[in-house]
Amino acid sequence: MQPKIVPSVLPADYARLGEDCQALEAAGVDRIQWDAMDGMFVPNLTFGPDVIAACRRVCDVAFEAHLMCERPEELLPRYAEAGCELTIVHPETLRQPHWTYAHIRELGMRTGVALSPGTPLDVIEHCLDLVDLILVMTVNPGFGGQSYLATMEPKIAQARAMIAASGYDIELEVDGGIGPDTIGGPAAAGADVFVSGSALWRYPSFAEGVADLRARAIAAAP
């Protein structure tokens, strides 16, 4: 499968979010990721469904919401209404994970499960029938611009093996410190979706960054 490049708009110019979404779409990104943070699950506060809905009106590229929030199940309908086709939740924030994963699909979205560096893979081994994407975090959630944790590469490989053994069609995404110097490791370990924020914004253009990151992921893929 062609690796997917998914920018996080965490580093975007929040005074020009719509224009940045249009520029990312023109650059050929596969989806746009919205890091929704509530200041409780992580010590940071970002955007909610109304901001996402506003940007939904100005571009067509798919949106995914990465909910770093306590009790995310209470807001799930809002992210569906805002136009997210995929919503990613952290199991540590869920009172009933199995129910929540099914509920995301009932709302018409695909289900993603994010595993922080300290969260083991086995928390989702009995829910793979309800999961469309596994996100192995390669930083601790809360902020962009952190350093990539190469110690997560064995976990990425284990996730790839779990997906292969399950027979389910599940994307394997990585997020955190992904850039030209780090994307090769997770790609070689079996990741096929790559979230990049600050590194993508450092390229001379989004198009150059998307093309370079995609080429590096293809070159390193097993």
Nearer to ligand DX5, 98 or 198 (CB): 198
Run of H or E residues at 161: helix 153-166
Q: Where are the beta strands (DSSP E) in the chain?
A: 4-7, 32-37, 63-68, 84-89, 110-115, 133-137, 171-175, 193-196
Of positions 72, 97, 112, 177, contacts ligand DX5 by CB under 6 A: 177
The site for ligand DX5, by CB under 6 A, has a size of 21
SS3 93: helix
Distance of closest approach, residue 100 Cβ to ligand DX5, in angstroms: 19
Q: Please state, in angstroms and rounded to a whole number, the distance separating the CA atoms of residues 186 and 21.
A: 26
Selecting among 20, 38, 132, 175, the annotated active-site residue is 175
Does 8 help bind ligand DX5 (rule: CB under 6 A)? yes
Of positions 178, 189, 210, 213, contacts ligand DX5 by CB under 6 A: 178
CB burial of residue 125 (10 Å; 0-12, 13-18, 19+): exposed
Selecting among 35, 38, 132, 192, the annotated active-site residue is 35
Distance of closest approach, residue 217 Cβ to ligand DX5, in angstroms: 14
Does 196 help bind ligand DX5 (rule: CB under 6 A)? yes
Give the 3-state secondary structure percentages of the chain, helix then strand then coil, rounded to 5.
Answer: 40, 20, 40
Of positions 29, 199, 210, 213, contacts ligand DX5 by CB under 6 A: 199
Contact string (CB under 6 A) for ligand DX5, positions 136-175, x = contact: ---x-xxxxxx----------------------------x
Does 43 help bind ligand DX5 (rule: CB under 6 A)? no
User: Which of 160, 165, 144 lies closest to 10 in space, CA to CA?
Assistant: 144
Burial 50-71 (b: 16+ CB within 10 A, else e): ebbbebbeebebbbbbbbbbee
| 13 given a catalytic annotation | no
Q: Please state, in angstroms and rounded to a whole number, the distance separating the CA atoms of residues 46 and 64.
A: 15
Nearer to ligand DX5, 142 or 184 (CB): 142
Rounded to 10 degrees, the C-alpha dihedral 167/112/209/182 comes to -70
| 122 given a catalytic annotation | no
Hey, which residues between 53 and 72 contact ligand DX5 (CB under 6 A)? 66, 68
- Residue ranges in contact with ligand DX5 by CB under 6 A: 8, 10, 35, 66, 68, 139, 141-146, 175-178, 195-199
Catalytic site residues? 35, 175
